[in-house]
Amino acid sequence: MPRPFATHSDELMAWPTQSVEHVPRLLIVDDEPVNIHSLYPLFADDYEVFMATSGQEALAMCHQNQPDLVLLDVLMPDMDGLEVCRQLKAESDTAAIPVIFVTFAAQSGGRVGRAGCRGCGLYQQAGESCRC
């Protein structure tokens, strides 16, 4: 049975700090909730899934209680995924968090390419993948 999906900001910020069995934590970051809801069922059985709808919210969540993996949209208003990744990798307490960019090819218009930051995976919906 899938784990519950945290949707309220208070629930999102109140990540459990200890558990008897370590369940990997996955943070999905996308400004479009429909995209988050599309990814959720793929991971709900194996991860404790959390979401953020902005770069600032994602950074705060990563500092408060680190996820084991971040799925990060590239194109978001205010702070794009590339900048979120740069800031995560620039700080020692979050630098080791693995980040995979997830975007829709139609959204990115091909602009993602090699403009990414080092150490982050990139997966486009069209199936093209690379290491930036």
What would the mean pLDDT of 8-24 be, rounded to a whole number? 62
Whether 108 shows a pLDDT value over 90: the answer reads no
Token digits of residue 41: 């069922």
* 15 within domain boundaries: no
Structural domain of 26 = 22-131
Nearest Cα to Cα of residue 73 among 42, 16, 114, 27: 27
Question: Using one digit for the tens of pLDDT, what is the confidence trace for 39-52?
Answer: 999 999 999 999 99
Handedness of CA 50, 38, 88, 46 (dihedral sign): positive
* 97 within domain boundaries: yes
- DSSP strands (E only) in the chain: 25-29, 48-52, 69-72, 99-103, 120-124, 129-131
* 93 within domain boundaries: yes
* 98 within domain boundaries: yes
CATH number at residue 127: 3.40.50.2300
* 3 within domain boundaries: no
* 2 within domain boundaries: no
Taking the complete model, does pTM exceed 0.85, yes or no? no
